Chain A
Amino acid sequence: MTTLLQPVRRPSRARTSAPPRRSSPQLRRRRLTEAALFWALILPNLLAIVVFGYYPTLYNFVLSFTDWDFVQPAPVVVGLDNYIELFQSGSMLMDALRNTAIFVLVAVVGTLFGGMAIGALLAQRLRFSGLVRTLAFAPHMLPGAAVGVLWLFMFDPNYGLSRWLFSMFGMESPHWTTTSDFSLWSITIAYAWQRLGFVAIIYYTAILDLPKDIYEAAALDGARGWPLFRYITLPLLSPVTFFLTVTGIIAAAQTFDIIATLTMGGPGTSSTTLPWMIYDQAFVDFNIGTSAATATVMFVLLLVVTLVQTKYASKQVHYS
Chain B
Amino acid sequence: MSLTLDRKDDPATSARTSPPHQPPRSRDLGSGHGERKGRRQGPRRPLPATMALYVLIAATFALFAIPLYWLFSSALKPEHEIYTYPLTWIPSTLEWSNFAQAWTSAPFGAFLRNSIITTVVGTALEIGVALLSAYAFAFVYFRGKMLIFALMVGSLMLPGHITLLVNYITISNLGWLNTYQGLILPGIGSAFAMFLIYQQMRQVPEELVDAARVDGASHMRRMRAVVIPICRPMILTATLIVLITKWNDFVWPLIVTSTSDMRTLPIGLMFLRSQEGYDAWGPVMAGTVIVAAPMLIVFFLAQRRIIGGITAGALKG
Contacts and interface: CB of A to CB of B under 8 A. Distances in A.
A135 B68 contact: yes
Interface residues of A, number: 115
The interface centre, meaning the residue of B70, B74, B186, B307 with most chain A CB atoms within 10 A of its CB, is B307
Contacts of A37: 136, 140, 219
Contact of A135 (B29, B64, B165, B191): B64
A97 to B, nearest CB: 14
The interface centre, meaning the residue of A47, A125, A257, A299 with most chain B CB atoms within 10 A of its CB, is A257
A145 B267 contact: yes
B159 A254 contact: yes
A17 B265 CA distance: 47
B162 A159 contact: no
Contacts of A35: 141-142
A164 interface: yes
Given A60-B163, A144-B248, A146-B288, A208 B295 contact: no
18 contacts: A5-B157, A8-B146, A11-B202, A13-B206, A37-B140, A41-B140, A45-B132, A53-B158, A53-B163, A57-B158, A135-B61, A136-B60, A137-B303, A146-B266, A152-B273, A159-B82, A279-B161, A283-B168
A201 B294 CA distance: 22
Interface in B139-193: 139-142, 145-146, 148-168, 170, 185-192
A4 B166 contact: no
Contact of A201 (B50, B190, B307): B307
Nearest to A41: B136
Given A52-B167, A126-B54, A306-B157, A1 B269 contact: no
Nearest to A303: B157
A15 B206 contact: yes
A39 B145 CA distance: 10
A80 interface: no
A318 to B, nearest CB: 10
Interface of A: 1-6, 8, 10-11, 13, 15-19, 31, 34-35, 37-39, 41-42, 44-49, 51-57, 59-60, 63, 118, 121, 124-126, 128-139, 141-146, 149-154, 156, 158-159, 161, 163-164, 193, 196-198, 201-202, 205-206, 208-209, 212, 219, 240, 243-244, 247, 250, 253-254, 256-257, 260-261, 274-275, 278-279, 282-283, 288, 291-292, 295-296, 298-299, 302-303, 306, 319-320
B206 A1 contact: no
A259 to B, nearest CB: 10
Contacts of B3: 4
B162 to A, nearest CB: 5
A38 B273 contact: no
Given A145-B250, A298-B162, A206 B148 contact: no
A57 B153 contact: no
A288 B161 CA distance: 13
Contacts of B192: 1, 4
A125 B45 CA distance: 12
Contact of B251 (A10, A128, A257, A299): A257
Interface in B105-129: 128-129
